[in-house]
Structure formats: C-alpha cells, structure tokens
Amino acid sequence: MVLQLNKLNPQIAARLVQIMIRWKRYDAQRQQLMKNNLQRILHEEHLSKDVYEVVSRSLED
C-alpha cells in the first residue's frame, strides 16, 4: 500500500509508513516482519524523497 501511495501521493505515503518506524517496540517476530518490509520499501526503484527519508532514518537506528 505504501508503494502504491508513493506513486500517487508521496506525502501521504510518508505519513503512513511512520506507523512502522516504531518497529523496535514489538516482539521479535513482528520486528522482523516490519524491518523486512521497510527494507523492501527502501529498495524500491522510484521511491520519493519523503518516504526514503522516513524509512532510512528508521533503519539506521
């Protein structure tokens, strides 16, 4: 959903992905799922600057 929104409205996509930046607060299984999805988003070819900034900051911690 984030990747689809990224094409239509990057600012909304960036807001939506902020839900997943708190991935470290969850149990190990959910952490891994969220981290995998964040990495998948980060490696998207035409990712907006807004989404890239939110996702990259989340993963560098």
Q: What is the pLDDT of residues 10-34, one digit of tens each?
A: 999 999 999 888 888 999 999 999 9
pLDDT score for 32: 95
Mean pLDDT, the chain, whole residue set: 93
Look at residue 35 and tell me whether its pLDDT is greater than 80: yes
HSE value, Cβ hemisphere, 13 Å, CA-based, for 59? 18
| 13: DSSP letter | H
Percentage of the chain with pLDDT > 90? 84
Residues 6+ apart with CB under 8 A from 30: 23
* pLDDT above 90 for 44: yes
Does residue 61 surpass a pLDDT of 80?
no
